[in-house]
Structure 1
């Protein structure tokens, strides 16, 4: 592995890592994701990480913990093969944030709901407390689970 990985492990006070084992590297990265102070070192280490699927998994975890203005920096280090999924997740996290700040219109909801992933529909059903949105999801959500959770959330609002 590279110097950035070594600096990351040292900063996390992880003494021994079998760097040839991607599962061991995953544990280092997973620990770093949860520590805001480690994100710059993590970013550097991921730029040197040879396993693109591992980089993608770590970055998707990071995207959920940072604000939208910082996400593109992370997505940009991905291979083209993994960039599509991470870009979509980044956009969907932005939509979820728009819901939480109530800055999304019902027209947008009706026009977009069928293009949203199951992941986004489920997150909205679980966390948004806007009755019209939950009603729409309870009727038009892609899966029975999404419709059920939206309906339960609607009753709780």
Structure 2
């Protein structure tokens, strides 16, 4: 039994899996998936050894990319170093950096430098921030400068939802009112129907994007004032 087969068999035994043909990358990927999804530290330790022997570079890279999202920052470099080709190593290093940046921004570290750097980062990072960020600055940046139409759309939609929640909770500044003029029909329509703020409704009644929004805002404003 070769060393690669031996470590694969050891991993399969520890995971309680039967691997029919260790030479088949599909069988190996099934085993790797089970290990990754289990999030068991003992299995991940053995997987770390296995990946150094993995003969399929694309498969090894796929495994490492999944694991990088599970392990703490201090362990990521070691996993990247298990990859044997410079191309895979470079790709995984960039992903590791993106994961760190994602974690930092989601924790509230949004500097001007971070916003500028975000313009050059990967679709992977921008897409996850468009879906998960709570920062209006980040979402506005992605809505305007995202790398794809999908990223721009998701960021704009999330920004609208966050602004809706904020305004309905009473956060109505002069800047918010001015920005409202440029926001989407979706946001303006929901505010016209639900806002309790006379300032917001007055703004929409006069400057709403459609006749319907203006009418609904004016009607709701009249009810609040009656």
Please report the TM-score for the alignment, with normalisation by the length of structure 2: 0.66
Q: Which residue does the alignment assign to 1:32?
A: 35
8 Å Cα contact 1:137/1:150 also seen in 2 = yes
Q: Which residue does the alignment assign to 1:56?
A: 61
Alignment of 1:44-123 (within 5 A): 44-79=49-84, 80-105=86-111, 107-123=112-128
SS at match of 1:20: coil
Are positions 1:22 and 2:25 aligned together?
yes
CA deviation after TM superposition for structure 1 residue 36, in Å:
2.6
Distance in 1 (CA, whole Å) between partners of 2:155 and 2:87 is: 33
SS at match of 2:97: helix
Q: Which residue does the alignment assign to 2:221?
A: none
CA deviation after TM superposition for structure 1 residue 104, in Å:
3.0
Distance in 2 (CA, whole Å) between partners of 1:16 and 1:133 is: 45
Q: Which residue does the alignment assign to 1:135?
A: 140
Offset from partner CA, 1:107-139 (integer Å, 9 cap, x none): 123321221111111111001111111111111
CA deviation after TM superposition for structure 1 residue 99, in Å:
1.0
Give the structure, 1 or 2, with the largest relative contact order (CA under 8 Å, sep 6 or more).
1
CA RMSD after TM alignment = 1.2
| Count of matched residue positions in the alignment of Structure 1 and Structure 2 | 156
Distance in 2 (CA, whole Å) between partners of 1:16 and 1:76 is: 26
8 Å Cα contact 2:65/2:95 also seen in 1 = yes
Are positions 1:155 and 2:155 aligned together?
no
Flag as ranges the 4+ runs of structure 1 deviating above 2 A. none
CA deviation after TM superposition for structure 1 residue 90, in Å:
0.4
CA deviation after TM superposition for structure 1 residue 143, in Å:
1.3
SS at match of 2:147: coil
Please report the TM-score for the alignment, with normalisation by the length of structure 1: 0.94
Offset from partner CA, 1:82-122 (integer Å, 9 cap, x none): 101100000000000001111231x1233212211111111
Q: Select the structure of larger CA radius of gyration.
A: 2
